[in-house]
Structure 1
Amino acid sequence: MKIEDRGVIEPSFMDFTTPSKFARESLYYISRYGHFYCTKDYCIKRDFLDSFLLVYIVHGNFNIETQNQITEASENQIILLDCHFAHKYYCTTPTEFLWFHFNGNGSQQYVDFLHEKFGLIFENTQSLRHSLLSILTSLQTALINEHQVSSNFSSILSRLAVPENTTMISDHPLNPSVSYITKHYAQEINLNDLAHSCGLSVSHFIRSFYQYTGYTPHGFLLSFRIRQAKQLLLTTTKTVEEISEL
């Protein structure tokens, strides 16, 4: 497909898809995609677009302005952009990148979750490059397997949500607090003590704990208590009142 965007050079390509009704209602789907090689003249500015944009930087620099934020992504980083807000992105050096406009069931919620947890830029994502290239290839077939594309793209978002360098490993510095909560969930738990067990200030501990678990410390405690209550309901003859007291 001919590309009209200024600053896009050969051998760049882009294309569109026509998702089925089922895909639009129930799957992740990609409406537009491409592999661009750009000069420093490349620039896109919009007030609104009804989609989300994932960009993987192969090399070069990619700048984004949106929601009063100005940030730059570089080689092996991924940008996740909510195009419902006014936005501008551009290159300041020769840049190569893969891009996917996507939408579908749960996209807004997942993007909001990832932005709240990590922001716009995801680092050290080179392990996702092969998967993104595979999606790009599958989208160019005459008969697109929408279910496979959705599954593969969901996997990409899931791996962004749990980066390789933040997976829960046995020697993670926040494990003492998680261990303490799981052992003492039936008791009153002090936030200062949890932070101290990890050698962190309370504010730093709360931010790190959320990034590590996806919960605030209090939210994790409540979730774990509910989990234990369900177990007691299923495996004992205790009443709801007794379990609530516990």
Structure 2
Amino acid sequence: MYINSAYLNNSLVDFKDKSKPLVVGSCGTYHLYTRPKLPTYRPKGRLDFQLLYIASGIAHFYFDNKEQDTIVPAGHMVLYRPKEPQRYVYYGNEQTEVYWVHFTGSSVKKILGSYGITNDMRVLSTGTSLDYARIFKQMIYELQRCQTNYPEVLTLLLRQLFILIHRQLTRDHTRKNEYLDGEMSLAMQFFNDNYNTEVNIEEYAASRGMSVSWFIRSFKQYTHTTPMQYIVSRRITNAQMLLETTNYNITEIGRIVGYDNPLYFSRIFRKQKGMSPSDYRKLGQAGKK
């Protein structure tokens, strides 16, 4: 087992410090490969925040005082808030390597939020990076050397760690958004090309490997309207253009935009525009005189 840790002012007692926005209290690392087990149990938590980075192997966390463990693999970080019960275990046969840092301050929640770490986040998917380990090791080194202005350096290093976490969280969010944007853009193009046919929303969603409920919810998030409302909007918009610019009769226009039943077309048009297609055409013609 390898262990290396360091503490502000060489004190192992956890503390709360509101005199500065952000204060690093301690930092360290564990690497289990000879010891069979390393458990930690703090039923009342600590006064400060703790961030743990699983660099390799896996760690077992017991959140909310439950007996069932949550397995956290390498490439994740776990954040504990003040007075939150802590219970976690590392096992030697799983080759667990963990870095940790304790910090406090008057603006910790605000600072975390500015880097995309919200109050509901407990396990952060950060990926593995040598940069994470480098920052943790540098914080340990600064705490051990105690050179001039080292508390300020510790704060800067911790903020650098937060920046790297924020970049990773943003990258994951961007990937999800890129997928959503791509799929919804394809859907809009499909509906634009086929608005005047019998479009089956369930069949379209299935053809893209999506559940219909997820597709409708995502489409509405992207366009602020449901797929069917979007199709109806395209039909009525194009019907307006035909009423204004052509001499096609109402039945013909209804068929062109996808309504074989002229009465149903008129009813939908009235519902959308507050008047019948014929009244809309008359209003347009009157405006041109």
Which residue is equivalent to 1:232? Answer: none
Instruction: Report the residue type matching 2:19 in the other structure.
Output: E
Asked if 1 retains the 8 angstrom alpha-carbon contact of 2:126 and 2:165, the reply is no
Give yes or no for the alignment of 1:172 onto 2:178: yes
**27, 36, 44: which is aligned to 2:40?**
44
Count of residue pairs the alignment pairs up:
177
Match of 1:124 in 2: 127
TM-score, scaled relative to structure 2: 0.50
Residue equivalent to 1:82:
81
What amino acid is aligned across from residue 66 of structure 1 in structure 2? Answer: F
- Paired residue type of 1:44: T
Amino acid at match of 2:87: K
Aligned partner of 1:225 in structure 2 is none
Contact 2:53 2:77 in 1 (8 A): yes
Q: Deviations over 1:26-81 (max 9, x none)?
A: 24222122121233421111122101111122322211122367422222322222
Unaligned runs of 5+ in 2: 11-16, 183-204, 225-289
Please tell me whether the aligned partners of residues 26 and 143 of structure 2 are also in contact (alpha carbons under 8 angstroms). no
Taking a change above 3 Å as real, the CA distance of residues 146 and 114 of structure 1, as seen in their structure-2 partners, is same
5+ residue gaps, structure 1, are 1-8, 177-195, 210-216, 218-246
Shift of residue 160 of structure 1?
1.9
- Equivalent residue for 2:166, pick from 161, 166, 172: 161
Larger radius of gyration: 2
Cα distance change, pair 61–40 in 1 and its aligned pair in 2 (3 A): farther
Q: CA RMSD in A?
A: 3.7
Structure with the largest fraction of helix: 2
Q: Secondary structure at the match of 1:73?
A: strand
Percentage identity across paired residues of the two chains: 13
1:150 aligns with 2:155: yes
User: What is residue 20 of structure 2 aligned with on the other side?
Assistant: 26
Check the 8 A contact 1:50/1:84 in 2, yes or no: yes
Which residue in the other structure is 1:73 paired with?
Answer: 72
Q: 1:204 to 1:73 in 2, by over 3 A?
A: farther
Secondary structure (helix, strand or coil) at the match of 1:140 reads helix
TM-score for both structures, normalised by structure 1: 0.57
